[in-house]
Amino acid sequence: MISTHDSRLEADTAQSVPLLGINWMLDSGYGAGVLGINIVLELCRTRSIRPVLFSKPGRIVVDPLSARLLEWAATPTNIPDGNASVRIPMVYTTGDDFVHEMHVKTEGPKFAIMAFENTRFSDASRSRNIFDRVFTESSWNADILRDRGFMNVVNWTQGVDTSVFHPAPKRGVFGERFVIYSGGKLEYRKGQDLVVTAFKKFAETHSNALLVVTWYNPWIEHARTINYSPHTSPLPVDAAGKADVAQWLANQGLARNQFVVIDYVPNAMTPSVLRECDVALFPNRAEGGTNLVAMEALACGVPSILAANTGQLDLVGDVPCFPLREQAPIPSLSDNYDTE
């Protein structure tokens, strides 16, 4: 059983409320963290399964009633270290080549939620796939895994909370400007260099155009992959080791009155930005999932332009959008990295 002094958890266990371990960090600032918050909120709302958080949460920004719901989630007082194990079902997240972190091991059933862009699998991937079931975040990921012989796969697309993300009137924050939105972590595969290049061209004939970006990326090594782009100059990094997005945009020739950089936006506050925008642009080179930010823009009623590739194909096929179908092959970033 779980080593804990949480009396509520012990009481629920005694009453046979099923438990489910969550083995990654809940956080309002990045995709997997938001996914975890939404899963835990739904479990806490229905109270059919009690979530047990085995990773210390990061920044969670939700409304007061959602915060109240989250109080039902259990956090063991004594979390076992990585060499210890518990005996309840556990959900993990995993990515390229089945690489994952096991904050806590379990002797119970193991499930993984998986999104990957690198379609080259090493020999080690077989031993890393220790899961009873792998839930992929796109049909593309599921098809790739089955083609590689992994048969413990179920396609499971995450959703959007439409009580938060839905159409609503603009507040008119940007006046008469024509606002183009781009969101998602700054990195080469998400194509922000293409956004900048396209915006520069568009702005030459549309002086009222404004680019609004939410490109927060806490992992500077991932942000620096934008330097692979042949279209833009290298990304500057400030004294604190953070990507200087505003300076990068200025270095590409954009005037300061042509863009707005919003550094960190908790997920629950993103709709207030999206609803001020006239169009959203997602020329992503690869998405293991369906692209959560694109789904949120669509849910808010923002006309959205999406590259018709990889995980985004699920959206192109199912929801009204403007697909970018003319695409060229992209060179591999390394000998061990490729995307089909």
Look at domain 7-155 and name its CATH class.
Answer: alpha beta
Find residue 111's DSSP bridge partners: 91, 133
**Strand locations in 7-64 (E):** 19-22, 50-53
CATH architecture of the domain 178-324 equals 3-Layer(aba) Sandwich (3.40)
Could you give the CA distance from residue 134 to residue 128 in angstroms, rounded to a whole number?
12
Instruction: Give 85's pLDDT tier (boundaries 50, 70, 90).
Output: confident
CB 49 within 8 A of CB 79: no
Domain boundaries, the chain: 7-155, 178-324
CB 36 within 8 A of CB 43: no
Domains 7-155 and 178-324 agree in fold: yes
Residue 113: phi and psi, rounded to 5, are: -105, 120
Cα dist from 330 to 170, 173, 231, 337, 340, whole Å = 38, 38, 13, 12, 10
Question: Quick one: pLDDT at residue 335?
Answer: 65
- CA dihedral 212→217→222→227, nearest 10 degrees, is 30
More confident residue, 92 or 8: 92
Instruction: Give 124's pLDDT tier (boundaries 50, 70, 90).
Output: confident
Could you give the CA distance from residue 176 to residue 189 in angstroms, rounded to a whole number?
32
The per-residue pLDDT for range 305-319, each reduced to its tens digit, is 999 999 999 999 889
